[in-house]
Amino acid sequence: MDDFFAEVSERWPAGREDYCWHVLPGSAADRERLAYSFGELTERPGLIPVRPEWMHVAVQHLGPVSGITGTELARMTRLVQGRCGGIAPFTVTVGRAEAWEAGVVCPVRPGYLLRFLRQVTAEVAGGRPGSGPPAYCPHLTLAYAVARVGQGPVRAWLSDCEASEAELQVARLVLVAQQHDRREITWRVIDEVALSGSTP
């Protein structure tokens, strides 16, 4: 695994606040249980565990706070509310942890509802559907690599891990202003869009 923050630092420097839409699946207690299940692994050298309060599924990275006016942000939030407010809360499965290129990650499925939320947030931001990365694979990161970490020992530990998949509810989209310090991602909540409809 390679240093996650070294990979993103050119397009998102340490200390700079960027707007992003997140999904925070489940409750705080759900995320604490998830962190506890993998604590022995994520505390290894070269890995920085994601604290439960910062666990998230990134939906759409909008860009620097300094480049988006309050008026533009309010307009985008209204449009997202209009498009997503009719969606009912839905359940996702947080899969078993895997060793990815830059951290220990749980894939989240089904992806199509999260892809819809991503498409909406891209469209209201003026982007075209599909203008972001070609493949969006929803996931929840348990630990970021902050140095070169061999995947072999991590995969061996995971092959013996008895932690099961978890079903968590998605009830809202959260707009945040986030930053990183080359060790963890933290944020301020700017706004929320509740998924309160009756039809998924």
Determine, yes or no, domain membership for 123.
Answer: yes
Tell me what pLDDT residue 134 has: 61
Total tally of structural domains belonging to the chain = 1
Question: 156: how many CB neighbours lie within 10 A of its CB?
Answer: 11
Higher-pLDDT residue of 198, 192: 192
Determine, yes or no, domain membership for 88.
Answer: yes
pLDDT in tens, 119-178: 999 988 876 444 455 689 999 999 999 999 999 999 999 999 988 899 999 999 999 999
3-state secondary structure of 13: coil
Determine, yes or no, domain membership for 189.
Answer: yes
Q: How far apart are CA 21 and CA 107, in angstroms?
A: 18
Determine, yes or no, domain membership for 86.
Answer: yes
Determine, yes or no, domain membership for 152.
Answer: yes
Determine, yes or no, domain membership for 55.
Answer: yes
Determine, yes or no, domain membership for 200.
Answer: no
Whole domain around residue 72: which residue ranges? 4-194
Higher-pLDDT residue of 190, 199: 190
> How far is CA 120 from each of CA 28, 39, 101, 126, 183, rounded to the nearest angstrom?
26, 35, 27, 10, 30
pLDDT in tens, 76-135: 999 999 998 789 999 999 999 999 999 999 999 999 999 999 999 998 887 644 445 568
Tell which residue, 76, 74, 58, has the closest CA to residue 20.
Answer: 58
Helices (H), 38-133: 39-42, 70-84, 111-124
pLDDT category at 199 given cuts 50, 70, 90 is low
Determine, yes or no, domain membership for 199.
Answer: no
CATH of the domain at 119: 3.90.1140.10
Mean pLDDT value across residues 28-42 = 92
Contact present, 135 and 145 (Cβ < 8 Å): no
Question: Directed axis angle between helix 70-84 and helix 111-124, to 10°?
Answer: 140
